[in-house]
């Protein structure tokens, strides 16, 4: 969602699409129903998702890759001040 929103912002309603991209990143970083960060800055890994009671503690390759790519795109485009790597 973050990447699609950033790409769309180049062609249509930049402010709206950058806000959508920002919200997508913020979900990984704790702006979600449980107020928990899926991204673990210490290890660079990302939880697989949320469960009704909190984090799914599995940290698979797919989740980590998507999270890290989102951080990289956000950093590259100036969307976030979070250090990507």
1-60 pLDDT, tens per residue?
Answer: 888 998 898 899 989 989 999 999 999 999 999 999 999 999 999 999 999 999 998 999
The whole domain housing 36 covers: 2-76
pLDDT score recorded for residue 81: 58
**What's the per-residue H, E or C state across 24-60?**
HHHHHCCCCCCCCCCEECCCCEECCEEECCEEECCCC
Is 83 inside a domain boundary? no
For residue 9, tell me if it sits in a domain: yes
Q: Assess whether pLDDT exceeds 90 at residue 77.
A: no
**Count of structural domains, the chain:** 1
Q: What is the mean pLDDT of residues 64-77?
A: 90
């Amino acid at each position: 969602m973050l990447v699609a929103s950033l790409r769309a912002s180049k062609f249509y309603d930049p402010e709206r699409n950058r806000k959508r991209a920002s919200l997508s990143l913020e979900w990984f970083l704790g702006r979600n129903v449980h107020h928990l960060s899926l991204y673990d800055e210490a290890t660079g890994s990302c939880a697989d998702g949320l469960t009704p009671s909190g984090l799914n503690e599995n940290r698979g390759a797919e989740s980590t890759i998507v999270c890290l790519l989102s951080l990289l795109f956000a950093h590259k485009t100036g969307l976030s001040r979070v250090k990507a790597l």
